[in-house]
């Protein structure tokens, strides 16, 4: 396996260093600055090193645009309390923050100095932060909000809308609205309170703690007890109607449906309970304490599987609802360790759409697979390397469709029994964690007893159309 070979070499190198009396940088007991990235080659400045962020307490006041003059701009004023645990003795450390103004930073209740460099907020505390000792970092910040775009020029992050904001941050857009270690290798729990003009609703992930109105402003408090990757955090603001209901299986759902939308826009949510029950038979227990949907009448051009509460642009179609639901297992609970591994999200979610469609008596998985394989070998579709699509290829069609076809072909290769075991064991073994393509191959080999090196080589590591097994 390609990167397993690489990590094997890295381990050998580390062992050699240790034998020579050297200490790897991360384990040094000498105080040093933290790093500016989590080590993801696609987004080198996403996330940070030198600490783990374990909890975010975000207190945000947001005033949406007044009338609707272009460009849309809102006003955000916030205090973020980030609880971190240093993984080495730290003289300084970084958070990711793009735009906005930082008024002050305190570390362990003492004022700290800070500088900004690109998307990095570099914080220097008064004293060295000892390894392993949890400490709160309080950042007071704010400013005008706009309509940020990702490297592909798609809207993402805190996207200001006419009547609020749509917050959808894959892959590194959370830094557009709060100081964060913006990479999925640093999952954390969240308490998010959003204060908006009375009449508007702010919808977050997880459980609704409550809402309170005073002086023409309403504060909406949300809590996520299960660890969450930063790209899955939302706090969308709009003219929503909240609908709370419980599945026959006992799972709380909170849907936020824009009052300005016709009923047809959310008709695709009708079978949510059946979908949850069906996916639980295939993928194991639903991984979080609640679910729901945010359907906004504004658009960022796509839907996103924001944790426990996917967000939809103008319409929630049934297939998309199945797709975003399945991401709760594939992507949210088990997240890609590096962005190169995104096919483990999108391939699975597309394959899950195929399963649901077949279960619901429409197009079968075999038909969907045949449809992908009908793409001529000369098509540029086959040129994407699924397990390494590049930062501009994260959402390429092949990541979704060839990714799903890979899973279908894997089932043909290892048999239904081993594949069904894999579908249950993958979300179980890597629950609330991250994993790589090599981890997936290794588990498939473990459960099937087969050498799948050539299979994965052909399907995800090589350009060109693979042969049908």
Binding site residues, Zn ion, CB under 5 A? 346, 349
Alpha-carbon gap, residue 177 to 220, rounded angstroms:
17
Using CB under 6 A as the binding rule, whether residue 51 contacts ligand ARG is answered as no
Alpha-carbon gap, residue 171 to 315, rounded angstroms:
22
Q: Which does 120 bind (CB under 5 to 8 A by kind): Zn ion, ligand ARG, none?
A: none
> Which position's Cβ is nearest Zn ion?
349
Q: What is the 3-state secondary structure (H, E, C) of 109-164?
A: CEEEEEEEECCEEEEECCCCECCCCCEEEEEEEEEEECCCECCCCCECEEEEECCE
Using CB under 6 A as the binding rule, whether residue 296 contacts ligand ARG is answered as no
237 vs 349, beta carbon nearer Zn ion:
349
Binders of ligand ARG in range 163-222 (CB under 6 A): 170
Q: What is the 3-state secondary structure (H, E, C) of 351-389?
A: HHHHHHHHHCCCCCHHHHHHHHHCCCCCCHHHHCCCCCC
Using CB under 6 A as the binding rule, whether residue 302 contacts ligand ARG is answered as yes
**Residue 86 in contact with residue 213, Cβ under 8 Å?**
no
Using CB under 6 A as the binding rule, whether residue 314 contacts ligand ARG is answered as no
Q: Which does 401 bind (CB under 5 to 8 A by kind): ligand ARG, Zn ion, none?
A: none
Using CB under 6 A as the binding rule, whether residue 382 contacts ligand ARG is answered as no
Using CB under 6 A as the binding rule, whether residue 398 contacts ligand ARG is answered as no
Stretch that binds ligand ARG, among 97-105, 150-158, 290-298, 431-439 (CB under 6 A): 150-158
State the pairing for strand pair 433-435/334-336.
parallel
User: Following DSSP, what letter does each residue of 263-319 receive, concatenated?
Assistant: GGGGGGGTTHHHHHHHHHHHH-S-SSSEE--EEESS--SS-B--TTS-EEES---HH
129 vs 349, beta carbon nearer Zn ion:
349
Using CB under 6 A as the binding rule, whether residue 337 contacts ligand ARG is answered as no
Length of the chain in terms of residues written: 469
Tokens 């603001």, residue? 237
Smallest separation (angstroms) from Zn ion to the CB of 232: 12
191 vs 346, beta carbon nearer ligand ARG:
346
Percent helix, strand, coil in the chain (nearest 5)?
30, 30, 40
Smallest separation (angstroms) from ligand ARG to the CB of 166: 12
Q: Which of 191, 255, 346, 388 binds ligand ARG (CB under 6 A)?
A: 346
Q: Which does 119 bind (CB under 5 to 8 A by kind): Zn ion, ligand ARG, none?
A: none
Helices (H), 42-86: none
153 vs 451, beta carbon nearer ligand ARG:
153
Smallest separation (angstroms) from Zn ion to the CB of 202: 24
> Which position's Cβ is nearest ligand ARG?
154
Residue 457 has what DSSP assignment? I
Alpha-carbon gap, residue 82 to 80, rounded angstroms:
6
Residue 172 has what DSSP assignment? T
Stretch that binds ligand ARG, among 52-60, 298-306, 353-361, 411-419 (CB under 6 A): 298-306
Smallest separation (angstroms) from ligand ARG to the CB of 285: 22
Q: Could you tell me how many residues of this chain bind ligand ARG (CB under 6 A)?
A: 13
Smallest separation (angstroms) from ligand ARG to the CB of 321: 11
Residues that bind ligand ARG (CB under 6 A): 150, 152, 154, 156, 170, 302-305, 323-324, 346, 395
């Amino acid at each position: 396996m390609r990167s397993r070979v690489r990590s094997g070499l890295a381990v050998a190198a580390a062992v050699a260093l240790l034998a020579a009396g050297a200490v790897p940088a991360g384990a040094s007991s000498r105080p040093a600055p933290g790093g500016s990235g989590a080590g993801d080659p696609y987004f080198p400045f996403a996330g940070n090193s030198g600490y783990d962020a374990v909890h975010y307490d975000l207190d945000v006041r947001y005033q949406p645009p007044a009338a609707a003059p272009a460009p849309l701009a809102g006003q955000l004023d916030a205090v973020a309390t980030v609880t971190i645990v240093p993984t080495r003795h730290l003289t300084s450390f970084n958070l990711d923050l793009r735009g906005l103004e930082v008024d002050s930073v305190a570390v362990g209740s003492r004022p700290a100095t800070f500088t900004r460099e690109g998307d990095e907020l570099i914080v220097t505390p008064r004293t060295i932060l000892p390894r392993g000792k949890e400490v709160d970092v309080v950042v007071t910040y704010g400013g005008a909000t706009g309509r940020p775009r990702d490297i592909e020029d798609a809207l993402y992050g805190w996207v200001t809308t006419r009547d609020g904001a749509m917050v959808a941050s894959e892959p590194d857009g959370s830094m557009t609205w709060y100081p964060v270690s913006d990479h999925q290798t640093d999952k954390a729990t969240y308490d998010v309170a959003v204060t908006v003009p009375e009449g508007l609703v702010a919808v977050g992930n997880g459980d609704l703690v409550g809402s309170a109105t005073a002086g023409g402003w309403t504060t909406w408090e949300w809590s996520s007890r299960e660890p969450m990757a930063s790209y899955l955090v939302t706090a969308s603001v709009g003219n929503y109607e909240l609908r709370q209901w419980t599945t026959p299986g006992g799972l709380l759902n909170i849907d936020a449906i824009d009052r300005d939308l016709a009923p047809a826009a959310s008709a695709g949510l009708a079978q949510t309970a059946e979908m949850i029950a069906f996916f639980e038979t295939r993928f194991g227990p639903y991984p979080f304490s609640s679910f729901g949907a945010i359907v906004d009448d504004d658009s960022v051009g796509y839907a996103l599987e924001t944790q426990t509460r996917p967000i939809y642009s103008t319409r929630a179609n049934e297939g998309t609802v199945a797709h975003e639901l399945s991401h709760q297992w594939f992507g949210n609970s088990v997240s890609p360790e590096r962005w190169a591994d995104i096919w483990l999200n999108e391939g699975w979610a597309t394959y899950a759409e195929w399963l649901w469609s077949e279960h619901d008596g429409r197009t079968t998985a075999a038909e969907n697979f045949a449809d992908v394989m009908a793409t001529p070998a000369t098509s540029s579709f086959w040129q994407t390397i699924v397990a390494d699509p590049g930062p501009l290829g994260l959402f390429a069609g092949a990541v979704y469709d060839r990714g799903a076809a890979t899973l279908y072909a894997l089932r043909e290769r290892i048999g239904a029994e081993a594949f069904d075991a894999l579908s249950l064991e993958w979300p179980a073994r890597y629950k609330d964690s991250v994993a790589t393509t090599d981890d997936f191959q290794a588990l498939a080999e473990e459960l099937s007893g087969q050498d799948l090196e050539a299979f994965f080589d052909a399907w995800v590591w090589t350009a060109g159309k693979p042969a049908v097994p």
